[in-house]
Amino acid sequence: MSGDTLSIPRRTGGLTAYAVNDGDTITQSTKSWDLVQLTAKKIAVLAKYSSELAEDAIINVADDLAGEIAYAFAKFEDQCAFVGDGTSTYVGIVGFGPAFTNLTGTYANIAGAYVMAATGGWPSAVIADFNNCKGRLPAYAAADPACCWIMSQQFWSSTAERVALAAGGITTMDIAQGQPPRFMGYPVKLTPAMPIVTATNQVCALFGAFHLAAAFGDRRMTTIAVSEHVDFASDQLNIRGTERFDINVHDVGNQSATAASRVAGPVVALMTAAS
């Protein structure tokens, strides 16, 4: 981001092809766009350590803490992107999970969400649930090279991998080596920001081309500063990390009580059923 705000064009309508005869006037069509807005939000980490620790530790404490700060920022970004509920806890960002469930309380009406057929949460998931979720995704998103699954390590191991290993034709070697993080022909990306335990009415996995459904803006990358002046009297050093970014999940499809009116976006969701 070159400034504190950024507007990104988003396609809202395309051109139309018409059959014409020789000499016919061609019907005009118009491509349309709107704008996706990003506004930089600031997050920060502050830690203190003594000058004695800096002198005596067998590791470079400042470097170690800088790595921790970078990890904290990455984790926070993932949480905003996938479970952010729009509150100040997530700097106002609404992530993919809430973006789906905020459409309507009648989850069966959400075009891009498939609710598992059986109650009981993750243990009740079967291969058909994943097939039906995948079937909600439009062809243009499924064909995108970046299309993938996103889920937690816990959901992958206890549910998706379990379903894959139970499909038949599995050898002892397959079980010993485990399944690679790939499912139904697409790579699986693992993040602890997605749910790690089962719950009802939960978005437990996402599938699609995420760059088509969300925008990420980076105004200030991870920036580290160290000061010995703030706590001069107590001989402590302060290390501070700051970052400015924004995430806008702008297309998860629509919802409608009429099935024919439902239009899924470039990302779809697998949800657990109500109890």
Domain ranges of the chain: 5-14+32-271
CB atoms within 10 A of CB 145: 6
Q: How would you write the pLDDT of the chain (275 residues) with one tens digit per residue? A: 999 999 999 988 999 999 999 999 999 999 999 999 999 999 999 999 988 888 877 778 889 999 999 999 999 999 999 999 999 999 999 999 999 999 999 999 999 999 999 999 999 999 999 999 999 999 999 999 999 999 999 999 999 999 988 877 777 777 777 777 899 999 999 999 999 999 999 999 999 999 999 999 999 999 999 998 888 888 899 999 999 999 999 999 999 999 999 999 999 999 999 87
pTM of the model: 0.88
Grouping H, G, I as helix, E, B as strand and the rest as coil, residue 100 is helix
What's the chain's Rg over C-alpha atoms? 23
Query: Which is nearest to 193 in space by CA: 73, 44, 42?
Result: 73
Token couple for 94: 């609404």
Q: What is the pLDDT of residue 237?
A: 92
**pLDDT at residue 157, rounded to an integer:** 93
Q: Which CATH class for the 5-14+32-271 domain?
A: alpha beta
Can you list the pairs that 188-191 forms with residues at least 24 positions away whose Cβ atoms lie under 8 Å?
A: 188/148, 188/149, 188/150, 188/151, 188/156, 188/160, 189/148, 189/149, 189/150, 189/151, 190/150, 190/151, 190/152, 190/153, 190/156, 191/78, 191/82, 191/150, 191/151, 191/152
Alpha-helical regions (H) of the chain? 51-56, 61-83, 96-101, 127-135, 139-142, 153-155, 161-165, 172-177, 210-213
Bridge pairing between strands 214-231 and 113-115: unpaired
* 79 vs 194: CA distance, rounded Å: 8
* 259 CB neighbour count, 10 Å cutoff: 9
Residue 9 DSSP SS3: strand
SS (H, E, C) 43-66: EEEEEEEEHHHHHHCCCCHHHHHH
